[in-house]
Amino acid sequence: MRNKFKELRALKAFAKKQSVGMQRKLMLYWVSMILVVFAAVILLLSVAGAFSQNDEQLHEVMELHLQNTQDNLIGHLDRLTAQSINLSKELSHEIEGVLAQEGISLQEINDAPERLLELQQVMYPLVNAALQTGNCNGAYAILDATSNTTLPVSDHSRSGIHLRYSNLSASSPVAPTVVYFRGIPDIARQNDLELHNRWNLEFDTDQIPGCRELMDTSLDRPAQSYFWSRRIGLKGTWESAMLLCVPIVGSDGTVYGICGAEISALYFQLSYPAVDGQFGSAVTILAPIQDSRLLLSDGLVGSVNGTYLDGQETLVIHQGRYYNEYDAGTERYIGLHQTIPISKGEAENSAWAFAIMIPQDSYAAYTAEVQRTWVIAALVLLVVLLALSFFLARRFVRPITDSLKRFQQEGVLEQGLSSGISEVDELAEFLNARARNQRLEQGELPPNIAELFDQFVERKDLLTEAERNILRYYIDGHEIADIPDLAFISMSTVRKHNRSIYQKLGVVSRDELMLYIDLLRRCGRIQELF
């Protein structure tokens, strides 16, 4: 094992000593720069909240939907409450009129079917009008009296009228039919109404939690105390509903009974259909809230199309930043809820909430699709950037490598040719100049220059002895002013010899003459002039 580590260290040391090509280095530079830029973009998008945009968008959609539903639902319940309070006042007026006419109290109509029938006959038009004008599927009125006090159930059996719509359907254009659910059958015959297949003569007040307590409360007016019952099963049927319970209060504070409206689970589903959106199907819920739990079995649930809800769950609420999670045990939902007051008086302590929620699975599928799109887009961008880096590296390095190849093959870069990169052209010029100097130092001249030098040397034979002596002084490095003293002649004679030397050697000035002398010295041919 130790030998293996030694071999690896040796290999690493060897690799460090190896040179790396210019194109590969530039490629690594471009790739590193692209990766840094790519990481910076991802970081900025993350800081800017681009990857949490789905949650923010869901929050905005849910909040808008919640606000719209709140306006519709609270308006719906408020209208039914106002209509039921008005029904209570009208029923109280009619009941007091009948009792005053008979000169009896409400307790005296117990065990008096004829008088109960008379009261129901005046109650029916009011209850029917409330059903026809109210946004509900049932209306009722219960008197605090029974037709037979000797029965074992007489303590919770009370006479009254309950009218309901049948054949409710979202797809059927047929107007729903009014059926007679509770009450004296003579009223149904007199008004040509069909008895419900689970019709009963009287109400079982034990089936309406809080009903008995409301009847036993001393009140001044019906608006002083009322409540919506939790969802209850309608006795003898498969249906369930919530009942609005408003007391029927006489002018002397006597509570004659209760009245109100019915919203069945089916009617609520038809009134509040599931809304399909990009995040999933949104369901409307009205239910009691207790200890951070929504009790769906005691409330009403809108259409559940696209979800797994059956309206019997207890949802545990987990508060979140953008939305809440509602845990049903096997399934989870996300959404928002808001508490609302739907009762008054002693029942006001019961907290209710309405909620908008969608299945967590559908939202997870949406976010996964969005994330998949982001990942694909990021990968495509990265591939494009890497391809661009290869292209740029090749484009910038290729002129350099081509120039270097020409240097290797030809030794110099031809005059007039350019690589397109100033640094490379300057290097080429420097190397050419250096090569020329080396050739000059080695006595090598280009063919055309060598021919000029040969002709210059040959023409020296045309010079006279005196002219050769003057030329020798110049070769030795003397100036023209030194010549008269050295040669013992006048300056005019020196100038005369100079003109003759220039003409015979083929130069036009002393500078050109000195250039030839310097070049011949560099080439090692200066002795040829002697």
Asked if residue 253 lies in contact with residue 220, where contact means CB atoms within 8 angstroms, the answer is yes
How many structural domains comprise the chain? 3
Which has the closest alpha carbon to 495: 477, 503, 518?
A: 503
Q: For strand 194-200 and strand 202-204, is the pairing parallel, antiparallel, or unpaired? A: unpaired
Q: Is residue 385 situated within a structural domain?
A: no
The yes-or-no verdict on residue 70 having pLDDT over 70 is yes
Interatomic CA distance for residues 247 and 465, integer angstroms: 152
Which has the closest alpha carbon to 148: 138, 139, 157, 140?
A: 157
Residues 309 and 256 in one domain: no
Inter-residue long-range contacts of 457-461, CB under 8 Å, 24+ positions, other chains counted: 457/520, 457/525, 457/528, 457/529, 459/504, 459/505, 459/506, 460/505, 460/528, 460/529
Task: Pull the structure tokens for residue 280.
Answer: 């999933």
Examine the fold and report which residue of 208, 234, 267 is the final residue of a domain before the chain moves on: 267
pLDDT of residue 434: 62
pLDDT of residue 527: 79
Mean pLDDT of 378-398: 74
Q: Tell which wins on pLDDT, 373 or 424.
A: 373
Interatomic CA distance for residues 26 and 24, integer angstroms: 5
Residues 242 and 297 in one domain: no
Q: What is the pLDDT of residues 72-110, one digit of tens each?
A: 999 999 999 999 999 999 999 999 999 988 888 888 899
The yes-or-no verdict on residue 156 having pLDDT over 80 is yes
Q: What is the pLDDT of residues 317-332, one digit of tens each?
A: 999 888 999 998 888 9
Q: Is residue 3 situated within a structural domain?
A: no
Q: Residue 55 burial by CB count (10 A; 0-12/13-18/19+): exposed, middle or buried?
A: middle
Q: Which range in 39-43, 146-150, 517-521 is most confidently predicted, on average pLDDT?
A: 146-150
First to last CA, the chain: 79
Mean pLDDT of 394-419: 60
Interatomic CA distance for residues 319 and 335, integer angstroms: 10
pLDDT of residue 520: 79
Element at 527 (helix H, strand E) = none
The pLDDT-based confidence of 48 (bands split at 50, 70, 90) is: low
The pLDDT-based confidence of 428 (bands split at 50, 70, 90) is: low
Examine the fold and report which residue of 247, 267, 287 is the final residue of a domain before the chain moves on: 267
Q: Is residue 228 situated within a structural domain?
A: yes
The yes-or-no verdict on residue 429 having pLDDT over 80 is no
Q: For strand 194-200 and strand 177-182, is the pairing parallel, antiparallel, or unpaired? A: parallel
The pLDDT-based confidence of 479 (bands split at 50, 70, 90) is: confident
Q: What is the pLDDT of residues 13-29, one digit of tens each?
A: 544 544 445 556 666 66
pLDDT of residue 162: 95
Residues 214 and 344 in one domain: no
Q: Is residue 522 situated within a structural domain?
A: yes
What one-character DSSP code corresponds to residue 198?
Answer: E
What one-character DSSP code corresponds to residue 344?
Answer: B
Q: What residues are paired with 335 via a beta bridge?
A: 324, 357
Percent of the chain with pLDDT over 70: 79
Interatomic CA distance for residues 405 and 412, integer angstroms: 10
Q: What is the pLDDT of residues 339-366, one digit of tens each?
A: 988 888 766 667 899 999 999 888 888 8
| Residue 108 DSSP SS3 | helix
Residues 248 and 286 in one domain: no
Residues 6+ apart with CB under 8 A from 213: 346
The answer to which of 34-48, 72-86, 128-142, 202-216 has the lowest mean pLDDT is 34-48
The yes-or-no verdict on residue 460 having pLDDT over 90 is no
The yes-or-no verdict on residue 396 having pLDDT over 60 is yes
Residues 240 and 321 in one domain: no
Residues 210 and 318 in one domain: no
Q: Is residue 326 situated within a structural domain?
A: yes
Q: What is the pLDDT of residues 116-151, one digit of tens each?
A: 999 999 999 999 999 999 899 999 999 999 999 999
| 3-state DSSP of 427-444 | HHHHHHHHHHHHHHHCCC
Residues 224 and 286 in one domain: no
pLDDT of residue 316: 93
The CA-based dihedral angle spanning residues 503, 509, 513, 514, taken in that order and rounded to the nearest 10 degrees: 160
Domain of 304, in residue numbers: 271-360
Tell me the torsion sign for CA atoms 388, 393, 398, 403: positive
The answer to which of 48-57, 116-125, 347-356, 507-516 has the lowest mean pLDDT is 48-57
Mean pLDDT of 480-507: 85
pLDDT of residue 7: 56
Q: Is residue 316 situated within a structural domain?
A: yes
Q: Is residue 40 situated within a structural domain?
A: no
What one-character DSSP code corresponds to residue 330?
Answer: S
Residues 305 and 232 in one domain: no
Examine the fold and report which residue of 360, 379, 409 is the final residue of a domain before the chain moves on: 360
CATH of the domain at 473: 1.10.10.10
Residues 224 and 278 in one domain: no
Mean pLDDT of 41-54: 62
Residues 211 and 127 in one domain: yes
> Hey, what amino acid is at 450?
A
Residues 219 and 95 in one domain: yes
Q: Is residue 400 situated within a structural domain?
A: no
Residues 243 and 300 in one domain: no
